[in-house]
């Protein structure tokens, strides 16, 4: 019984909003958040994004925040059934930081831990893929795939902003 209660408690605790996009941006840009810009997803760009994500992106434009060569992206991607909200910072074509801002699935929330996300630090893009291997998390395969896909997408989109 106590084991069941433990898992229920763990499951409930795993879902939630860990940081609002506003707080993530304020933290990233040290309270001086630049005005947002947008990239319209049209033509070939739509095809490239579809290839990166493995499915059509839901939306016609993606918003980002830029200060010099640093860009911040707030991107949603489905883990298994529910969207996971990621905050990603790209600095000089390398990932500076990836953070799970909101997790709504019942499983796979382990990807939010720093021990996992720090693997992404300083990763770049090579032939439309991450230039370094990411170790998976047992039981969180789809969440890991979602994070890998949005990290790749943010790296690619950042190349379009310079």
Partner 1 sequence: MNGMLRSWHRSIGIIITLFVLILSVTGILLNHTEDWELDQHHLTWPWLLDHYGLSNVEADVAYSLNDKVITQFDDEVFVNDNPVTTNLNQIIGGITIDDITILASTNELLLISPDGEFIEKMSASAGVPEQIQNIGLFHGEPVLQTRNGMWRSDYMLEDWEKISLQGVSWSIQSTVPSDIQKQLDSHFYGEGVSIERFVLDLHNGHILNGIGVWLLDVVAVLLILISVSGLWMWSRSGK
Q: Which is nearer to partner 1, 125 or 142 (CB)?
A: 142
Q: Which is nearer to partner 1, 33 or 137 (CB)?
A: 33
Residues that bind partner 1 (CB under 8 A): 20-22, 25, 33, 35-36, 38, 58-63, 65, 74, 83
Q: Are the C-beta atoms of residues 67 and 35 closer than 8 Å to each other? A: no
Q: Are the C-beta atoms of residues 123 and 151 closer than 8 Å to each other? A: yes
Measured in degrees and rounded to the nearest 5, phi and psi for residue 34 equal -70, 165
Q: Which is nearer to partner 1, 24 or 156 (CB)?
A: 24
Structure-token pair, residue 7: 């898992």
- What is the nearest approach in angstroms of partner 1 to the Cβ of residue 20? 8
In angstroms, rounded to a whole number, what is the distance separating the alpha carbons of residues 23 and 48? 30
Structure-token pair, residue 157: 């989109």
- What is the nearest approach in angstroms of partner 1 to the Cβ of residue 40? 9
- What is the nearest approach in angstroms of partner 1 to the Cβ of residue 47? 16
């Amino acid at each position: 019984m106590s084991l069941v209660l433990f898992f229920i408690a763990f499951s409930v605790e795993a879902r939630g909003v860990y940081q609002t996009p506003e707080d993530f941006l304020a933290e990233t840009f040290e309270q001086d958040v630049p005005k947002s810009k947008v990239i319209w997803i049209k033509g070939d760009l739509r095809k490239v994004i579809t290839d990166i994500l493995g499915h059509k992106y839901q939306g016609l434009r993606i918003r980002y925040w830029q200060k010099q060569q640093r860009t911040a992206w707030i991107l949603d991607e489905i883990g298994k059934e529910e969207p996971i909200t990621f905050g990603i910072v790209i600095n000089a074509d390398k990932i500076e930081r990836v953070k799970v801002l909101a997790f709504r699935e019942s499983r796979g929330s382990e990807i939010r831990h720093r021990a996992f996300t720090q693997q992404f630090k300083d990763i770049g893009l090579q032939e439309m893929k991450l230039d370094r291997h990411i170790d998976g998390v047992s039981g969180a395969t789809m969440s890991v795939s979602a994070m890998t896909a949005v990290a790749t997408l943010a790296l690619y989109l950042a190349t379009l902003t310079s």
